[in-house]
Amino acid sequence: MNPCPTRRADPTALVVRSAPAVPAAAVLLLHGGRADGPEPPPALNLPALRMRPFATAVTRAVRGRDVLIAEVRYRHRGWNGARADAARDAEAALGRIREQAGPVPVVLLGHSMGARAALRAAGDPAVRGVVALAPWCPADEPVDHLGGRRLYLLHDETDRVTSARQSWEFVRRAREAGADAAGIPMPTGGHAMIRGADLWHRRAAELTAALLSHG
């Protein structure tokens, strides 16, 4: 009997924005989406465009450190209930990074649904930590896989799309599970992070760079 073939990561799950010849670490960006949406993301994808300035800020913050910077490419626009499509795509993208760069440490930087996907995928042994922007953290979101991870959840408490209160509760539960988690109130920005965008970009990039520096 022939042995089962090794499962390879989905090559379509990752969009590489910059890559050194020999990466020493990686940052994976995960944009937002919808609660439900089985269709593919549109060609003009505003949630994905919203993450481009974050990628630029991170690139500046890690300059000279041989860091691969990439984005998840979702197959579907929404989370889609128990299917958790965005989380599955995050896991596939981590597998693709492993194939391309080897077992390098990875920081996940996600917004809204993408932040939920990042937190769900953070049990992967390559993940050093997560920077979650205005995350979607339902009350039943699992935390037991987060022991030993560093998590930063940034939220404007006036956000009317996702709940800052649920983010702070997620931080509390993650700490009980053994994570080094912190909730960071942001003074403005709402959910789309448009007002005070420079502060969001700078803070996210600083925290991402700090996570990469932490051994």
pLDDT digit string, tens, across residues 176-195: 999 999 999 999 999 999 99
Predicted pLDDT at 6: 43
Residues 6+ apart with CB under 8 A from 119: 110, 130, 132, 135, 137, 141, 146, 151, 170
Give 83-139 pLDDT, tens digit per residue: 999 999 999 999 999 999 999 999 999 999 999 999 999 999 999 999 999 999 999
pLDDT in tens, 5-29: 444 556 568 999 999 999 999 999 9
Burial class (CB within 10 angstroms; exposed 0-12, middle 13-18, buried 19+) of 89 = buried
* Residue 180: burial class (beta carbons within 10 Å; 0-12, 13-18, 19+): middle
> What residue segments make up the domains of the chain, in order of their start?
14-213
Pick the CATH number of 14-213 from 3.20.20.10, 3.30.70.1230, 3.90.1150.10, 3.40.50.1820: 3.40.50.1820
Confidence band, pLDDT 50/70/90 cuts, at residue 215 = low
